[in-house]
Amino acid sequence: MRLVLASNNRKKLGELQALLVPAGVELMAQGMLGVAEADEPFHTFVENALAKARHAARQVGGAAIADDSGLCVDALGGAPGVYSAHFAELATTEVDREDHRALQDAANNALLLDRLNGVTDRRARFISTLVAVRSADDPEPLVAVGRWFGEILHAPVGSGGFGYDPLMFIPALGRAVAELDAPTKNAHSHRAIAAAQMLTLMREAWHRG
């Protein structure tokens, strides 16, 4: 089964593709089909994920899946939340998409450390909300949510992953997310938890896998 992924993030595409293999799902990034990114006007992950999935499904005339994910920090009242990807303001630069994403990640991490300067409660969690639809008007979207609990470090470590991975320490693993190899991350992450739920939903509702 082919699903359009309502994202152009190549790293997210790779992670989700590996996680959804058991259901026989093949993901294709929406940009490969000329689909522009959807607006994300809502204040919750589930509403934004549903909007993105329906937008992609409508543009391609088929099934789609969207992941709206981010970091929620207790001491910041849940921020950056749905604004995680663009937490810090970044001037538009003449670089390609992936270079721009790397610059944005660095700016986001720097702002997060600044906001938590002097704060002792550094508990946080990564959230991944997956929504899959068979069509743009599917009345029964599949919704799965994964939460990965950790603590925000005082400085970035590791070179793997993306986003806030260098700052997110997972006590249960004794390492920051950016220090984990891909198999370990894919076995424990918020996206892995959500994907496992999604696989169950696909088997039950879509008879996949």
Q: Which amino acid is at 195?
A: A
pLDDT digits (tens, 9 = 90+) for 169-185: 999 999 999 999 989 99
| Cα separations in angstroms, 134 against 57, 71, 124, 138, 178 | 8, 28, 33, 6, 34
**CB of 75 closer than 8 Å to CB of 121:** yes
Which pTM does this prediction carry? 0.89
Q: What is the pLDDT of residue 61?
A: 94
Locate 102 and state its tokens: 């790397």
Note the CATH number of domain 2-206: 3.90.950.10
User: For the chain, what is the mean pLDDT?
Assistant: 92
DSSP labels, 21-49: GGGT-EEEEGGGGTPPPPP---SSHHHHH
pLDDT at 186 over 90: no
pLDDT at 116 over 90: yes
Q: Provide mean pLDDT across the span 101-126.
A: 95
Query: Hey, where are the domains in the chain?
Result: 2-206
Residue 172: its H or E element: none
Q: Name the nearest CA neighbour of 115 among 157, 154, 161.
A: 154
Q: What is the pLDDT of residue 97?
A: 73
Q: What is the pLDDT of residue 92?
A: 64
Please indicate whether residue 53 or residue 40 has the higher confidence score (pLDDT).
53
Q: What is the sign of the dihedral through the CA atoms of 71, 74, 75 and 77?
A: positive
Q: What is the pLDDT of residue 98?
A: 76
56/33 Cα distance (integer angstroms): 10
List residues with catalytic annotation. 68
What DSSP character marks residue 160? Answer: S
Q: What is the pLDDT of residue 209?
A: 64
Percent of the chain whose pLDDT exceeds 70: 98
pLDDT digits (tens, 9 = 90+) for 71-106: 999 999 999 999 999 999 887 666 677 788 889 999
What DSSP character marks residue 202? Answer: I
Residue 9: its H or E element: none
